[in-house]
Amino acid sequence: MSAAQDFDADVIVVGAGPVGLTISNTLGQYGVKVLLLEKGEELIDYPRAVGMDDECLRSIQGIGLAGTVQQHLTPYHWMRFVTASGRCFASIEPRTDDFGWSRRNAFNQPAVDRELMDGLKRFANVEVWMGAELEKFDQDATGVSLTVQHKGKVNALRCKYLVASDGGRSFIRTTLGIGFGGFTDTSKWLVVDIRNDPLGVPNIYMHSDPQRPYVSVALPDGVRRFEFMIFEDETEEQVTTPERMAELLAKVLPAHVDISRLDFIRKRVYTHNARIAERWKIGRIMLAGDAAHIMPVWQGQGYNTGMRDATNLAWKLAYVINGKGSDALLETYQSERPLHAKAMIDLSVTAGRIFSPRNAFLAGLRDVTTWVLNYIPPVKRYFMEMRFKPMPFYENGLVVHEKVRRKNSPVGRMFIQPKVRNRAGEVKLLDDALGQGFALLAWGADPNYWLNPKSRAILQALGAKIVTLKPVVQIDRSVDMSDATDVLGDEQMRLKEWFGQHPGSIVLLRPDRFVAGISYPIEVNELIAAVADKMGLALDAGGKAK
């Protein structure tokens, strides 16, 4: 029996939430053999997360499912913070689309999860076991062994890598004894989801009433979510009685509404946690999503942060399994993701403290301060355009910084995604035009002229696309262009603007569309070699990945 036949899957993913589903779809695209295990017999069918950002939607675009998922979104979904007197003291209304999508989108999570699950049907190399419970696991130098209960049978399984996307109470994380430091808020919140929206108004309203903060959220498909702070001396049983529900809903619905007419999906009390795992990679086991971090809901970033984990981790697993990288590449998951997740947790905690102070004096101080700040245009833009949101930035990991570091270097940051035009006249978002994998992008000139044989071999081993970007009016010009170079027209002239702001005219983009490095053409071979070295990519004498 060969080594390959010893494994039931290259990767076993535990947990079929959005993170596990996205990882499985990404690995499926790369031909990796995947087994997805889910403890439940069916996907969860009630709303949980309600906000999807542009980075997340770009990840879904990357697995080829943006078209089907879009029907379950409300783009340009604003968040408005309102005082007890009804004054809007902050409105988050970002209208930019730097990454190709609206920065704030309301969404129907059960419907999106079903689209992600259906997407797995495209891949013969991906198998899903519903109602499968992981009982124990153990890893060694070459793989991970698991015992899984499924359909009344105990299964002994083996894989090369194990991904724990099994939620905040992760069995895998707790079994490994990984610390999950942070805190649990003393207050609780009642979530009420209702079909056939009784209000119908769009957007999110965060009512900062110190007597009882509450939230009203419009969701797609006519669903309305209300959230009410529940105090320490109140129980779930008390606040969900018809009498108390009528009292709470009187804060958000017109007077004298008969709540018996409301079509409730669920009523549930939950707590806010802010926790992060001490380690996200332990040998051949990786944590992702809620298994690695949980955060308060105030900026809607728990779901999105998990999806960033999925996009960062999955392509790296695929490249290692397909022989295009070593464990050094997987270690960059540990060095890249936790710091940004911690920044998102801190932002969510801070937003919650601003939104829901229960001290009337502090609430009044906030109201006066925000009233004044709203008259300062730069401050107002800072909030409206979500400039406060920490953007992912990788100081360490699979990045090659310039020898002379600049304050606004694009290295380690996500590349923009404007529209481009190909020579056939088709207009697409950049990622759709580039396809899957690495890409070497150059402005104006042909990078092939500068590539040495080693760089060509590396790019070929990585399956990298080589592209020259030009103004649309020049895309039919083939002067000094190699046949190995694709040409894309800068439809919106945003790419010209981007390159004009940075010191370099060639970027090496990773599969997750982060900038691995930037250089001038004369330096490009040094950049490519450094990225290959950090990946642990080894080539044989014929230039093929070993």
The predicted structure's pLDDT at residue 66: 98
The last residue of a domain, from among 353, 386, 409: 353
* Choice among 100-104, 237-241, 412-416, 515-519 with the minimum mean pLDDT: 237-241
- The average pLDDT across 416-426 equals 96
Torsion sign (Cα): 522, 528, 531, 536:
negative
* Choice among 300-309, 379-388, 450-459 with the minimum mean pLDDT: 379-388
What tens digit of pLDDT does each residue of 50-84 get? Answer: 999 999 999 999 999 999 999 999 999 998 888 88
Residue 465: inside a domain:
yes
Residue 229: inside a domain:
no
The predicted structure's pLDDT at residue 389: 57
Number of domains in the chain: 2
Same-domain status, 36 and 140: yes
The predicted structure's pLDDT at residue 96: 86
Same-domain status, 31 and 113: yes
Q: pLDDT grade, residue 385 (50/70/90)?
A: very low
Same-domain status, 298 and 173: yes
Tell the residue number behind the tokens 């943006």, with chain if given: 66
What tens digit of pLDDT does each residue of 364-380 get? Answer: 555 555 555 555 566 55
Residue 349: inside a domain:
yes
Q: Which of 163, 181, 189, 166 is nearest to 15 (CA)?
A: 166
Q: What is the mean pLDDT of the chain?
A: 89
Q: Does 1 score more than 70 pLDDT? A: no
Residue 179, SS3?
A: coil
111's CB contacts (< 8 A; 6+ apart) are 72, 220, 221
Residue 295: inside a domain:
yes
Q: Which of 296, 290, 307, 294 is nearest to 215 (CA)?
A: 296
Encoding tokens for residue 459?
A: 């790019």
The predicted structure's pLDDT at residue 545: 78
Which helix (H) or strand (E) segment holds residue 350: the answer is helix 327-355
Same-domain status, 427 and 287: no
Q: Does 388 score more than 70 pLDDT? A: no
Same-domain status, 349 and 435: no
Q: pLDDT grade, residue 4 (50/70/90)?
A: very low
What tens digit of pLDDT does each residue of 95-111 get? Answer: 889 999 999 999 999 99
What tens digit of pLDDT does each residue of 158-213 get? Answer: 999 999 999 999 999 999 999 999 988 767 889 999 999 999 999 999 888 888 88
Same-domain status, 313 and 425: no
Same-domain status, 39 and 161: yes
What tens digit of pLDDT does each residue of 481-510 get? Answer: 888 899 999 999 999 999 999 989 999 999
Q: pLDDT grade, residue 297 (50/70/90)?
A: low
Same-domain status, 439 and 317: no
For 158, the domain range is: 4-67+107-178+276-353
The predicted structure's pLDDT at residue 166: 97
- The average pLDDT across 461-479 equals 91
Same-domain status, 52 and 172: yes
Q: pLDDT grade, residue 216 (50/70/90)?
A: very high
Same-domain status, 439 and 300: no
CATH classification at residue 141: 3.50.50.60
72's CB contacts (< 8 A; 6+ apart) are 107, 108, 111, 112, 115, 220, 221
Residue 186: inside a domain:
no
The predicted structure's pLDDT at residue 223: 95
Q: Does 32 score more than 90 pLDDT? A: yes
The last residue of a domain, from among 353, 379, 401: 353
Gap between the Cα atoms of 380 and 88, Å rounded: 12
Residue 82: inside a domain:
no
Which helix (H) or strand (E) segment holds residue 487: the answer is strand 486-490
* Choice among 86-90, 360-364, 388-392, 451-455 with the minimum mean pLDDT: 360-364
What tens digit of pLDDT does each residue of 336-353 get? Answer: 999 999 988 887 777 666
Residue 101: inside a domain:
no
Q: pLDDT grade, residue 333 (50/70/90)?
A: very high
The predicted structure's pLDDT at residue 372: 52
Q: pLDDT grade, residue 415 (50/70/90)?
A: very high
CATH classification at residue 497: 3.40.30.10
- The average pLDDT across 29-50 equals 94
The last residue of a domain, from among 353, 373, 394: 353
Same-domain status, 333 and 435: no
Cβ atoms of 169 and 293 within 8 Å: the answer is: no
Same-domain status, 435 and 339: no
Residue 384: inside a domain:
no
